[in-house]
Structure 1
Amino acid sequence: MAFDFQMYTPAPEFTTSAAYFSMEFALDQALKTYSGGLGFLAGSHMRSAYELRQNLVGIGILWSFGYYDQGRNEDLSMRADFRLKHYSFLQDTGLVFPITIHNAQVLVKALYLAPEIFGTVPMFFLTTDIPENDYISRTISHHLYDADTAARVAQSILLGVGGGKLLDLLGRQTDVYHLNEGHGLPLAFYLYDKHGRSQDEVRKRLVFTTHTPELAGNEEHDIKLLHDMSFFGNVPLDEVRRLGLIEKERLNYTLTALRFARISNGVSKVHGKVANDMWGQNAGISPIIAITNSQNGTYWRDKPLAAALAADDDEALLARKRELKKQLFDIVADQTGTLLDPDALTVVWARRFAGYKRADLILRHFERFRALVTNQDRPVQVIWAGKPYPKDYGAIGLFNDIIQKTSKFKTCAVLTGYELALSAALKKGSDIWLNTPRFPREASGTSGMTAAMNGCVSLSIPDGWIPEFVRHGENGFLLPLANLHEPDHVKDDIEAKGVLDVLENEIVPLYYGQPADFLAIRKAAMREVEPEFESHRMATEYYTQMYNRGLGS
Structure 2
Amino acid sequence: MFFFRSLAVMPPLPPALAKLAVLAKNFWWSWEPGADAVFRWLDEELWDNLHHNPVAFLLSLPPEKLAEAAQNPEYMEIYEECCARFEKYLNQPTWFDQTFPDKKERVIAYLSAEFGIHECLPIYSGGLGLLAGDHLKAASDLGLPLVAVGLLYKFGYFNQEINPEGWQEARYPLLNFYKMPITPVTDGEGRELEVQVELSGQNICRTVSLRIWEATVGRVKLYLLDSDTPRNRVEDRQLTGRLYGGDHEMRLVQEILLGIGGVRALRAMGIEPVVWHINEGHAAFSVLERLRELVSEGLELETAREVVRASTIFTTHTPVPAGHDIFQPELLSCYFEHFYHQGSLNWNAFVAPAYDPDRQGYNMTLLAHRHASYTNAVSRLHGETTRRMFFHIYPGIPEAEIPVTTVTNGVHIETWVAPEWVERFNRVAGDKWRTPYNSPEVWEKIAKMPAAEIWSVRKELKARMLEKCRARLLAQRQRYFASPSQQEEIETYLPPDVLTVVFARRFTTYKRAYLLLRDRERLARLVNDPEQPVQFIFAGKAHPADRSGQEIIKQIYDLSQEEPFRGKVTFVEEYDIELAQCLVQGADVWLNTPRRPLEASGTSGQKAVLNGTVHLSILDGWWPEAYNGKNGFAVGRGEVLPDDTTQDYYDSLSLYAVLEDVVIPAYYRRTHGVPRDWIEIIREGWRSIPHYFNTGRMVKEYAARFYVPLMERYDQLVKDNYAAARRVRDFKEYLTQNWPAVAVLSVTAERPALPVAGQTIAVAATVRLGAIKPEDVVVEIMLGRSKDWQLTEMNGVRMELTEALGDATYRFSGTITLTQGALGYTVRVRPADSMFVHPFELPLIAWAPEF
| TM-score normalized by the length of structure 2 | 0.62
1:56 corresponds to which residue?
146
Q: Residue in 1 aligned with 2:652?
A: 496
1:226–1:213 distance in 2 versus 1, CA, 3 Å: same
Match in the other structure for 2:530: 376
Residue aligned with 1:549, SS: helix
Aligned to 1:325: 462
How far apart are the structure 2 equivalents of 1:29 and 1:247?
37
1:141 is paired with a residue whose SS is coil
**Aligned twin of 2:749:** none
Deviations 1:101-124 (A, max 9, x none): 243110010000123xxx361111
Q: 1:190 aligns with which of 285, 289, 314?
A: 289
Deviation at 1:380, TM superposition (A): 0.5
Cα deviations by residue, 1:229-256 (Å, 9 ceiling, x for unpaired):
2285534442535854324552111112
1:110 and 2:179 correspond: no
**Which whole-Å deviations, capped at 9, do the CAs of 1:417-464 have from their partners, x for residues lacking one?**
111000011111101111100010000011100011111111111111
Paired AA for residue 300 in structure 1: W
Match of 1:541 in 2: 701
Deviates more, 1:84-93 or 1:140-149: 84-93
2:381 to 270, 278, 283: 270
Q: Deviations over 1:294-316 (max 9, x none)?
A: 11001111132254464613322
Provide the aligned C-alpha RMSD in A: 2.1
Deviation at 1:281, TM superposition (A): 3.9
Per-residue displacement from partner, 1:488-509 (whole Å, max 9, x unpaired)?
Answer: 1111011001111000000111
Contact 2:182–2:215 (8 Å) recurs in 1: yes
* Matched position secondary structure for 2:696: helix
Aligned to 1:221: 327
Check if 1:11 corresponds to 2:122: no
Q: Deviations over 1:40-61 (max 9, x none)?
A: 1001001000011111011111
Name the aligned partner's letter for residue 105 of structure 1.
T
- Identity of aligned pairs, percent? 32
- Unaligned runs of 5+ residues in structure 2 are 1-24, 27-89, 186-191, 296-300, 396-400, 429-445, 474-489, 717-851
Work out which of the residue numbers 364, 370, 383 in structure 2 matches 1:259.
370
Query: Residues 305 and 317 of structure 1 are in contact (CA less than 8 Å); yes or no, is this contact kept in structure 2?
Result: no
Q: How big is each residue's C-alpha offset from its partner over 1:245-276, in whole Å with a ceiling of 9 and x where there is no partner? A: 32455211111211111111000011111111
- Aligned counterpart, 2:115: 25
Cα deviation digits, residues 182-227 of structure 1 (max 9, x gap)? 0011101001111223211110111100000012211111112112
1:324–1:429 CA contact under 8 A, matched in 2: yes
Matches within 5 A, 1:112-151: 112-115=214-217, 119=218, 121-151=220-250
Alignment of 1:358-507 (within 5 A): 358-408=512-562, 409=565, 410-472=567-629, 474-481=630-637, 483-507=639-663
SS of structure 2 residue aligned to 1:360 = helix
Q: How far apart, in 2, do the equivalents of 1:237 and 1:69 lie?
A: 44
Contact 1:262-1:286 within 8 A present in 2 as well? no
SS of the counterpart of 1:524? helix
1:158 paired residue number: 257
C-alpha deviations, 1:316-344, integer Å up to 9, x for none? 22122111111111122122225212221
Q: CA 1:422–1:496 in 2, change beyond 3 Å: closer, same or farther? A: same
Name the CA shift for 1:175/1:106 in 2 (closer, same or farther; >3 Å).
same
**Unmatched runs of 5 consecutive residues or more in structure 1:** none
Is 2:155 the counterpart of 1:65? yes
Kindly indicate whether the alpha-carbon contact (under 8 Å) linking 1:347 and 1:383 is maintained by their aligned counterparts in 2: yes
Are 1:290 and 2:424 an aligned pair?
Answer: no
- Listed one character per residue, the Cα deviations across residues 337-383 of structure 1 (whole Å, up to 9, x for unaligned) are 25212221110111111100000101111111110111121010100
Task: State how far apart, in whole Å, the 1-side matches of 2:418 and 2:462 are.
Answer: 12
Three-state SS of the structure 2 residue aligned to 1:189 is helix
Output the amino acid matched with 1:477. F
User: Cα–Cα, structure 1 residues 521 and 504, in superposed 2: closer, same or farther, change >3 Å?
Assistant: same
What is the rounded CA distance, in whole Å, between the counterparts of 1:328 and 1:77 in structure 2?
24
1:200 equivalent in structure 2: 306
SS at match of 1:173: coil
Q: 1:72 to 1:243 in 2, by over 3 A?
A: closer
Would you say the 8 A contact 2:394–2:402 is kept in 1?
no
1:42 to 107, 121, 132: 132
- After superposition, what is the alpha-carbon deviation per residue over 1:378-419, rounded to whole angstroms, capped at 9, x for unaligned? 010100000110111110111011110122322111011111
- Is contact 2:227-2:238 (8 Å) kept? yes
Amino acid at match of 1:509: P
Aligned partners of 1:207 and 1:261 also within 8 Å: yes
- Change beyond 3 A, Cα 1:120–1:461: farther
Name the structure 2 match of 1:245.
354
Q: Distance in 2 between matches of 1:526 and 1:412?
A: 29
User: Which of 500, 515, 522 pairs up with 2:682?
Assistant: 522
Q: Secondary structure at the match of 2:574?
A: coil
Structure 1 segment 303-314 matched on structure 2, within 5 A = 303-308=419-424, 310=428, 312-314=449-451
Maintained 8 Å contact 1:227/1:237: no
The structure-2 alpha-carbon separation of the partners of 1:368 and 1:120, relative to structure 1 and needing over 3 Å to count, comes to farther
Q: Deviations over 1:143-168 (max 9, x none)?
A: 00123111100110111111101111
2:510 and 2:222 map into 1 onto residues whose CA distance is 33
Match of 1:347 in 2: 501
Cα displacement (A) at 1:24? 0.4
**Shift of the alpha carbon at 1:92?**
1.0
Task: Assess if the C-alpha contact under 8 Å between 2:541 and 2:575 holds in 1.
Answer: yes
Q: Which residue of 1 aligns with 2:183?
A: 91
Partners of 2:312 and 2:371 within 8 A in 1: yes
Which deviates further from its counterpart, 279-288 or 368-377?
279-288
Distance 2:219 2:137 in 1: 4
Whole-Å separation in 1 of the counterparts to 2:131 and 2:290: 26
User: Is 2:159–2:170's contact at 8 Å kept on the other side of the alignment?
Assistant: yes
Cα gap change, 1:367 to 1:253, in 2 (>3 Å): same
SS of the aligned residue for 1:257 comes to: helix
Q: 1:78 aligns with which of 154, 160, 168?
A: 168
Counterparts in 2 of 1:203 and 1:272: CA distance versus 1, 3 Å: same
Contact 1:308 1:316 in 2 (8 A): no
SS of the residue corresponding to residue 612 of structure 2 reads coil
Q: Structure 2: how far apart are the matches of 1:220 and 1:340?
A: 44
Aligned counterparts of 2:507 and 2:658: Cα–Cα separation in 1: 23
Q: 1:280 to 1:247 in 2, by over 3 A?
A: closer
Cα deviation for residue 481 of structure 1 reads 4.2
Q: 1:237 to 1:85 in 2, by over 3 A?
A: farther
2:452 matched to which residue of 1? Answer: 315
Give the Cα–Cα distance (whole angstroms) in 1 for the partners of residues 167 and 219 of structure 2. 36
Could you report, residue by residue, the CA deviation over 1:88-144 in whole angstroms, capped at 9, with x for unpaired residues? Answer: 3211112112111243110010000123xxx36111110001111111111110000
Q: Does the residue aligned with 2:120 lie in a helix, a strand or coil?
A: coil
Q: Separation in 2 of the partners of 1:230 and 1:95?
A: 25
- Name the SS for the 2:220 alignment partner: coil
Match of 1:334 in 2: 471
Question: C-alpha separation between the residues in 2 aligned to 1:212 and 1:533?
Answer: 19
Counterpart of 1:173?
A: 272
